[in-house]
Amino acid sequence: QVQLVESGGGLVQPGGSLRLSCAASGSTHSIVAMGWYRRAPGKQRESVAGISATGGSTNYADSVKGRFTISRDDAKNTVYLQMNSLKSEDTAVYYCNARVRATSGLFSAWGQGTQVTVSS
């Protein structure tokens, strides 16, 4: 019903910046909220940032506050994650997530993931 495609990952030096994009298609009117998760080698998946469907509410993991900014462009059905002052600890596969409202309840849609590597 909802498909997500991430882009923008890559290799960046410590202190550098990247902007991730997540384009949603399908029943986008059913999306309640969207967010970014990441999974580093040997670690569990963690939530990075989230934004409500209206864009009026955002949240961030403590580890990225002040460095990352989540935003959305409803005209393009796209959510962005601007990542500044990147650290080696930010190296992970980043996944876009959408909470989707259906008649039977709430479901999650996931993108394929995009690799972010922070290294000298």
C-alpha pair distances (Å), 44 with each of 30, 37, 70, 105: 28, 10, 21, 26
Looking at residue 75, its pLDDT comes to 87
Regions of the chain where pLDDT drops below 50: none
Looking at residue 3, its pLDDT comes to 96
Looking at residue 53, its pLDDT comes to 84
Looking at residue 1, its pLDDT comes to 84
Tokens of 50: 């989230």
